[in-house]
Amino acid sequence: MQFQDSEHPDGVSSDHDSTKGGNTTLAQARQRKADAAVSLRLAGASWSDIARTVGYPTPRQAIVSTEKALAKRLDNPQDREKMRQLAGARLERLLMSVWPKATDPAHPEHLYALGKAREIIDRHAKLFGLDAPTEIVVHTPTQTELEAWVSQMLAGTLPPVHEYDIITGQIVEDDGAVSTG
Chain mean pLDDT for the chain: 81
Q: What is the pLDDT of residue 101?
A: 95
Same domain (yes/no): 34, 57: yes
Domain range for 119 is: 78-127
Q: What is the mean pLDDT of residues 116-124?
A: 94
pLDDT in tens, 46-101: 999 999 999 999 999 999 998 888 887 777 777 778 878 888 988 999 999 999 99
Residue that finishes a domain, picked among 112, 127, 142: 127
CB 51 within 8 A of CB 58: yes
Higher pLDDT, 69 or 115: 115
Same domain (yes/no): 14, 36: yes
Q: What is the mean pLDDT of residues 19-25?
A: 60
Cα 150 to Cα 112, 137, 154, 156, 170: the distances in Å are: 51, 21, 6, 10, 46
What is the C-alpha separation between 16 and 42, in angstroms, rounded?
34
Same domain (yes/no): 51, 91: no
Residue 138 is assigned to a structural domain of this protein: no
Same domain (yes/no): 67, 104: no
What is the C-alpha separation between 76 and 81, in angstroms, rounded?
9
Residue 33 is assigned to a structural domain of this protein: yes
Q: What is the pLDDT of residue 152?
A: 83
